[in-house]
Amino acid sequence: MNRLTGKVAIVTGGANGIGRGIAEAFAKEGANVVIADIAAQEQATAVIDAITQMGRSTCYVQTDVANEQQVQAMVTTALQTFGHIDILVNNAGIFTQSLVEDLPIADWDRVLNVNLRGTFLCTRFVLPHMLAQGSGRIINIASQLGYIGGREVAHYSASKGGVIAFTKALAREVATRNVLVNGIAPGPILTDLMASETEEWKAAKLAELPIGRFGEVSEVAPTAVFLASDDASYYVGQILGPNGGDVML
């Protein structure tokens, strides 16, 4: 408890799923949380209420992380509201499925724009403030598909492989200036994002998962709390894997 007291975190895609779980876990540890999500604020009532009931402050900024102007405005609002930003979680992400031979160009562009460009844009506008204040944590939510790839998800896999490489490269640039950058590559976690998977895929995945079940959001959020906390002071460019044993590196 209270490992993040006094900290201010931005969580992108925090209205739902893993991002919501991270936002609430941060608040439970004492952080105030800016939620930047493309969804309308009405769709984030549950997470806003949960954070407020914990006695923390939250600020909701409807943001498309792929949009430069909206990201810049979101970061300005976060600074105007709380005065500083200590933690950035680049979690917003989307997922579609298609064989490459049929993949609509628009799907490639949108998935890369949200998952990879969005991670870059949020980092680009937050990082100068972290460097100026001499501290910060950036946590990028990748995916194990960024390592191993997956049938019908080449575009998603490419975006997440890009997030992993970006995490490592940025970590090398800024670690000596006390901004620590790490990532999380979850396995299959029960959220809306997984809802589009077929029953056939789910059965096959369950059969090969060493732990024999899909993960819960509550099994990913503690990894983000750890990476944001003082306990992770020697973690630089690491990609942690709450994945039920699906990928062992």
Interacting residues toward ligand NAD by CB under 6 A:
12-13, 15-19, 37-39, 63-66, 91-95, 114, 118, 141, 143, 186, 188-189, 191-194
Decide whether 1 or 249 has the Cβ nearer to ligand NAD: 249
Residue 190 CB burial class (10 angstroms; 0-12, 13-18, ≥19): middle
Q: Look at residues 88, 81, 77, 69 and name the one whose alpha carbon lies nearest to residue 13.
A: 88
> 234 an active-site residue?
no
162 vs 188, beta carbon nearer ligand NAD:
188
- Which of 147, 156, 234, 235 is the catalytic position? 156
Q: In the 8-state DSSP scheme, what is residue 38?
A: S
User: Least distance to ligand NAD from the beta carbon of 73, Å?
Assistant: 13
Q: Which of the 8 DSSP states describes residue 58?
A: E
Q: How far is the CB of 6 from ligand NAD (least distance, A)?
A: 26
Instruction: Report the C-alpha gap between 22 and 36 in whole angstroms.
Output: 13
- Angstrom CA distances, 169 to 84, 86, 149, 166, 173, stand at 24, 20, 21, 5, 7
CA-to-CA distance for 247 and 157, rounded, in angstroms?
A: 14
**Which CB, 45 or 233, lies closer to ligand NAD?**
45
- Minimum separation from the CB atom of position 177 to ligand NAD (A): 26
What's the CA gap between 103 and 199, in Å, rounded?
Answer: 22
| CA distances from residue 241 to 145, 156, 172, 246 in whole angstroms, order as listed | 11, 17, 20, 9
C-beta of 132 vs 148, nearer to ligand NAD: 148
Q: Which of 87, 90, 163, 168 is nearest to 129 (CA)?
A: 87
Q: Smallest distance from the beta carbon of 199 to ligand NAD, in angstroms?
A: 16
Closest distance between ligand NAD and the C-beta of residue 96, in Å? Answer: 11
Catalytic residues: 156
